[in-house]
Structure 1
Amino acid sequence: MDFAAYAQRAVDLVNTPIDTEDDVRTYVGDRPWVTDRLTADDVGVLAGLRAGLTGMVDASAVGDGAAAVVALNQLLAKHPIRPMISGHDESSWHLHVYDESGSAGETVCAEALFGLALLVAEHGATRIGRCAATDCDNAFIDTSANRSRRFCSTRCSTRMNVAALRRRQQAAKEV
C-alpha cells in the first residue's frame, strides 16, 4: 500500500468541502470499492474527520509540532485503526488499515490517519503547510529536503511569481 498517498488524501480532505453524499462521492470517486459502501452516515463521519484534520494541519502549518501530534493522537483515539495483512498468495502479503466490513467513512478515516501518522513519524509533525498564494489557503505536504515549499500547486506558485515579476517591472518603469 502507498501510505504517502494516504497522507496526501488526508490533506486533500482538508481542502475539500464535505457537506453532502455527492461531496464525499467526488472526494473518493476514483475508488469504487469505497463509493459502493457509501451511506448518508459517512458524510457526518468525514465532516468530523475533516474538522479535526484542519486543526492538525493548522498547528503543523504554524510550526507547532506538539499541538499537531496532540490533534492527530486525538483523531487516532476517536477512529481506531485495525490493520490487517492481506494477500492473494504467499508472495503478495501487504497491509490494509481498515476492516473490510467497515463503513466507507471508517475506511477513509483509517487510511488518512495511518498515512498522517507515518508522515509525522518519518518526516516530523511540521511538514504540512498552508499555501502562501493570495486567495488560497489549501493545505499541502512538504517533504522537500530543506522544508522550502510555500505553495499548494505549481499553478499557485506560478501565479504568485508572475505577479511579483509584474510588480518589479512596474516599479522599474516608475524609477
Structure 2
Amino acid sequence: MNRRQLIQRLSGLFGGAALLQFGATSFAATFPLNKTHAQWKALLPAASYDVLFEEGTERPGSSALNAEKRAGTFVCAACNNPLFKSTTKFDSGTGWPSFFDFIPTALDTKRDFKIILPRTEYHCARCGGHQGHKFDDGPKPTGLRYCNNGVALTFVAADQPLPELRS
C-alpha cells in the first residue's frame, strides 16, 4: 500500500476531506517542466516514478547512493536538475542519502501532514519531483538534514559532464 492509498483509507475513517486536503497534494502545474503522470511513467523506472510523482518512499538502506563517497553532483532522476553537491552529503544513519545543504534555487518545499504531524517536504524546483523531507537535526554549518530517496537521484561523478536537462 502506498501513501496515497493509506491516506484514502484513513480519510474514510476520519470523515475525510480535511485529511485528504493535507495528504496527496498535486502541484505539478506550478513547475517549469510540466509533464503528465503518463509521460513521467513512460520515462522512469517504476520505483523512481512512485517516489517522484506518487510521493512514495523507498525502503531505508536500499539505495546504493548511501555508500557513494566520490566527488560529484546529485541530480534529479526525473529532469536532471542539479540538486546537491557531494561536499554536502553526510551519513545520517537513517538509511537514506542525506545532505546538509542544497544547490541554490534547486528545491521547493511544502508542508506535509501525511503522518498527521507536520513535516517539510521538498521537491525538485524544476519538475516538482518529490525528493524527501527536511529536518532540523543535521550537522553544522546549517543544522539541516535533507533526507532524500535514492531512487529520486542520479549521481554524476565530478570528472563527468552533467546530463542535459530533460525537456
Pick the structure with more helix per residue: 1
Relative to the length of structure 2, the TM-score reads: 0.27
Relative to the length of structure 1, the TM-score reads: 0.27
Pick the structure with more strand per residue: 2
Q: Of the two, which has the highest radius of gyration?
A: 1
